[in-house]
Structure formats: C-alpha cells, structure tokens
Amino acid sequence: MDFIVGLPRTQKGYNSIWVVVDRLTKVAHFISVNTTYSGARLAELYISRIVCLHGVPKRIISDRGSQFTSRFWEQLHDSLDSKLRFSTAYHPQTDGQTERTNQILEDMLRACAIQYGTSWDKSLPYAEFSYNNSYQASLKKSPFEALYGRRCRTPLFWNQTGEKQNLRVAQSRQKSYADVRRRDLTFKVDDFVYLKVSPMRGIWRFNMKGKLAPRYISPFKIVERKGEVAYKLELPSNLSRIHDVFHVSQLKKCLRVPEEQAPLEGLDVQEDLTYTEHPVKILETFERVTRNRRVKMCRV
C-alpha cells in the first residue's frame, strides 16, 4: 500500500489516493483520502474497503509514513494477526508492485485531468474498474479474472463462447505491444516530436499541479539524427539557449493530441528543460492544516 499525493483538492476535501494492491492477483483498490487523515481514520477505511471484501491479509508492505508507523496502526494489525513490513528508506522497489500501479494510475488520471480538474475523485472508481480488468502480462489474464476465476461480464464480453481462443489472441496482441515497448524508439528526419519538460513544483496550471500538469511542449521537427539514441530538433529563437540535441527518452512521437502538450507561447523553458509558471489570477484560497501550523494555499 502507498499514497499518491499532491493532487488537486476536490470539493469533498480529498487531495490524495490510497493505493492498495494484492501481490498475488494484482487486484488494486484506489481510495480517495486526505493527507491529514489519522491512523484511526485510515483503519476505518481499511476495514470497510479491504477487509470486508477480501478478508485479513497475512502481510502488508507499506512505506514508513507516520500513519503506518503509529502505535494505533501497529496494535490494529497485531489484533488482526497481520504482519507489517516497511519498505527500505529511499528504495521504493521494496514495494515495487504498488509503485508501478501508482505510475499507471497517474497516467490514467493525467489523461482525464484537464477535463475533470478538481472532480477527479468522481472518475476514480472507473479508473479502478479499468485497471482491474486490464491484461497483466505476468498473470496472462486480468486481475479480476485472477481473483474470481472468470472474466468480468461487460458489454464487451457477455458470454464464454470462444474464451480460450479470444484469450490466446489477446495474449498474442499484448505480447506484441510489450515487444514494441522493449525496443528503442526511433524517428526519421522531418518527423515531428514532443519535447518533455518539467513544471516547477508548487504552481497549479489548468486547475492542477505537479504530477497532473502537462508534460510536453511542441511539436518540433527533427532535422538530424545524432548517433543511435539522440536527435537534433529545430527549435524556435526563444529556445536558442537550450542545446538542440536530445536523447530519445526526452522525445515522444507527435500524435497531435492537444491536451497532452503545454502551449509554447509565454513559456520560459530553462536549460534543464524546466519551466516556471506565473499565476495570472487567484481563483480560490484555502488553508491546509498540518500538525503544528496552518498554511494558506491559493489556486490560480
């Protein structure tokens, strides 16, 4: 279990997601929470959303957040006979499965963030349903099927006719997708690509900030290939101070999806491909309560 934090505050006061993943079947639950929730409040959600559906787990792996290291949380799991295991500091691979699920969830949320904004919590159940019914290469099936022993009944799948054949086709298709991603990306001269950038932390854009902010600018034209894994781009004059040769990992093929890119006009991109966003208008103010103080926040 782990948290995705730094999300836009919703009307119900949620600003983070509690991600709980079953290590065997990879079934995941996404629970809307607030970073100020105490261990007791999280325990209530844990009992109602996890234990009541799946029973008491034998072992739980989490980070060393104060909610999970509290005496209350420890005593709760002692009474339930669950073993608590904490991930190694600065080594998230200890709980790598949940970390990977978090990456997938962030991508799903980012895809609809501009449309939903601060109402992302309303689309969270659909993200959970979609994830649990998606094919997992390591399982050769979806998490739902691994848990219940059957495929989820949806308008896309009403009966069991030809299930084995369909599954073989799906496995072959998913394997081809995985093989494509394993190969290094290659582009041609005159192709257009997006350039990856990183927004400065603490600033909201399009009612969102940080992990949900647009990550690409452009498109830019490729004018030359440099070696095996680098390309030279045709940059405008306002980006002349930036070196125009980029590693392939910084590029993304241009598919002409406007919501995935930040407008270049008025964007001051630094040499390290970060940019600072300046507020134009304050839309809302609120206070964030921590243990020792109140912090005034502004949405711009």
pLDDT tens for each residue of 180-206: 655 557 888 888 888 887 654 444 443
Specify the pTM: 0.50
- pLDDT given for residue 93 in this prediction: 47
Per residue in 206-226, pLDDT (tens digit) is 344 455 556 777 788 899 998
Per residue in 258-267, pLDDT (tens digit) is 445 555 555 5
Q: Of 3, 54, 15, 108, whose CA–CA distance to 299 is shortest?
A: 15
Neighbour-count burial of 101, counting CB atoms closer than 10 A to its CB (0-12 exposed, 13-18 middle, 19+ buried): buried
- pLDDT given for residue 224 in this prediction: 92
Q: Distances in Å between the alpha carbon of 60 and those of 34, 35, 48, 53, 85?
A: 21, 20, 17, 16, 6
Q: Of 201, 202, 203, 192, whose CA–CA distance to 261 is shortest?
A: 192
Specify whether the backbone of 206 is left (phi greater than 0), alpha (psi in -120 to 50) or beta.
Answer: left
Confidence class of residue 91 from pLDDT cuts 50, 70 and 90? very low
CA dihedral 34, 39, 44, 49 (to 10 degrees): 60
As a whole number of angstroms, the distance between CA 87 and CA 64 comes to: 7
Residue 88: is its pLDDT beyond 70? no
- pLDDT given for residue 207 in this prediction: 41
- pLDDT given for residue 223 in this prediction: 92
